[in-house]
């Protein structure tokens, strides 16, 4: 029997239309301004947003650590669904799958982030903290706010 790998799901309701949220998660020049789990800088971003296209971002945490997750886009439905692999350099055995789902909600967007196929609970907890930090920054970047979920 195959053991299922852990996954996490985070839902946020953002006071910005799906088109603005989509742009923030797919346009490198916008990703550079907010991507990362804390207030540290984003050093580079690459997003060839098409199936088979490459994803890469380099960010520096406030503690000075630099991270460079990379991936390949699997599914792209503009302003609705973005699916890509997620891999840390030097750790191909830890490749996982990230999905952003966007849907209109009360004049804004409901964003669902699913990070699946994580290798274990420790990695899940680390990524959950990182994704929550990143998504905490998105509403302010978009000039709106967030509804309580």
- Structural domains in the chain? 8-147 (3.30.530.20)
Of 136, 130, 137, the closest CA to residue 115 belongs to 130
In sequence order, the 6+-apart residues with CB closer than 8 A to the CB of 132 are: 10, 37
pTM for the whole structure? 0.92
Q: Is the pLDDT of residue 149 over 60?
A: no
DSSP assignment letter at 28: H
Give the distance from CA 92 to its chain's centroid: 19
pLDDT in tens, 39-89: 999 999 999 999 999 999 999 999 999 999 999 999 999 999 999 999 998
Sort 98 into a burial class: Cβ within 10 Å, 0-12 / 13-18 / 19+.
Answer: buried
Which residue would you say has higher pLDDT here, 142 or 145?
A: 142
DSSP assignment letter at 15: S
């Amino acid at each position: 029997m195959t053991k299922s790998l852990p996954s996490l799901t985070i839902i946020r309701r953002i006071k910005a239309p799906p088109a603005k949220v989509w742009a923030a998660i797919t346009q490198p020049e916008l990703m550079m301004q907010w991507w990362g789990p804390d207030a540290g800088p984003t050093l580079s971003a690459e997003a060839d947003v098409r199936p088979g296209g490459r994803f890469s971002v380099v960010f520096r945490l406030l503690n000075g650590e630099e991270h460079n997750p990379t991936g390949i886009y699997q599914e792209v439905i503009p302003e609705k669904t973005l699916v890509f692999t997620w891999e840390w350099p030097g750790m191909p055995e830890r490749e996982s799958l990230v999905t952003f789902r966007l849907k209109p909600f009360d004049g804004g967007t409901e964003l669902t982030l699913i990070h699946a196929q994580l290798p274990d609970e420790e990695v899940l907890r680390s990524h959950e903290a990182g994704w929550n930090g990143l998504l905490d920054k998105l509403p302010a970047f978009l000039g709106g706010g967030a509804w309580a979920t």
